[in-house]
Amino acid sequence: MKNILFTSNIPFHPYRGGVERVTDILCKEFLKTGKYNVYYLNCCWHDEERKNYNYPAPVTILPSTNIDDPQNIKFYHNFLKETDIDIIINQEGLFGTSKLFLNTGNERIKTISVIHNNPLLEYNHLWCSINILKNETNTEKIKRFARCILYPKIKLQLKTQLDNQYRYLCNHTNKIVVLSESYRSRLGKFYPDSIPLTVTIPNPNTYPDIHDIP
C-alpha cells in the first residue's frame, strides 16, 4: 500500500471550490483501487462549515496558523514519519505554503506540486490591476497616479517573487503540474529550469465544436 498526502492551506471541502472538488474526487478514486491510503493535511479549518463534511480521508490541522512557525516543521516531519507517506501532492504550487509542504526532511518522499491556474496571470496582467480606477474620488485618482508611476518597480518586485517561488519549486519538488500546454510553455519561457520538471494535465472541459445558436 502506498500512502498519499494532499496538502493545502484549507481543507478540501468539495462544495467550497474547484481545487477542493478535484481533490475530493481524486482521493475517492485512489481509495477505490485498494492500493492507496490517503491523508489530508491543512494549515487551518478557515471556517466552522468546513468541519461539517464527511471527508474521505483523515484531516490533520497544523498546530499553528503561522506557516513559518518552527513547531509546524517539527509537527509536519513527525506526521510524515508516523504515516509513512510515500507521495505528497502539494495543491498550492503558486503559494508560500509550498515552503513548508515541500520541506519533507526525507528524500525518499516524492513530491508533486500543482499550479491550478495561469502561472503568470498576476505578472502578465499587472498593468490592468494597477491602472484600474476603483472609485471616482480624488484620493483614488491620486493613488492610481502613484501606482502607475511605481509600475516598473512593482513589476520588478513581482518578477523577483515569482523567480524565487519557481526556483524553490524546481529545487524541492519532483514534478510540477500545470493545466495546459500553453501554461507549460509560458512558465518555461519565464523560468527555463522548470521545463524538465513540468508536466501537463489538460482541462477536460474542452469544446472543439462550436455552433451559432439561431
pLDDT in tens, 58-97: 999 999 989 899 999 999 999 999 999 999 999 999 898 9
SS (H, E, C) 60-91: EECCCCCCCCHHHHHHHHHHHHHHCCCEEEEC
> In whole angstroms, what is the distance from residue 1 CA to residue 3 CA?
7
**Across 134-143, average pLDDT:** 90
Q: Side chain identity at 75, as an amino acid letter?
A: F
CATH superfamily of 1-114: HUPs (3.40.50.620)
The CA distances from residue 201 to 73, 152, 168, in Å, are: 30, 34, 22
**Residue 206 pLDDT:** 47
> In whole angstroms, what is the distance from residue 133 CA to residue 156 CA?
22
Phi, psi for residue 192 in degrees, rounded to 5: -55, -30
Of 7, 173, 2, give the one whose Cα is nearest residue 83.
Answer: 2
For the record, the C-alpha cell of 35 comes out as 492500493
pLDDT, the chain, mean: 90
pLDDT in tens, 30-64: 999 999 999 999 999 988 878 889 999 999 999 99
What pTM, to 2 d.p., does this model score? 0.86
pLDDT in tens, 86-136: 999 999 998 989 999 999 998 899 999 999 988 888 888 889 889 888 888
**Residue 205 pLDDT:** 54
3-state helix, strand, coil in the chain (%, to 5): 45, 15, 40
**Residue 76 pLDDT:** 97
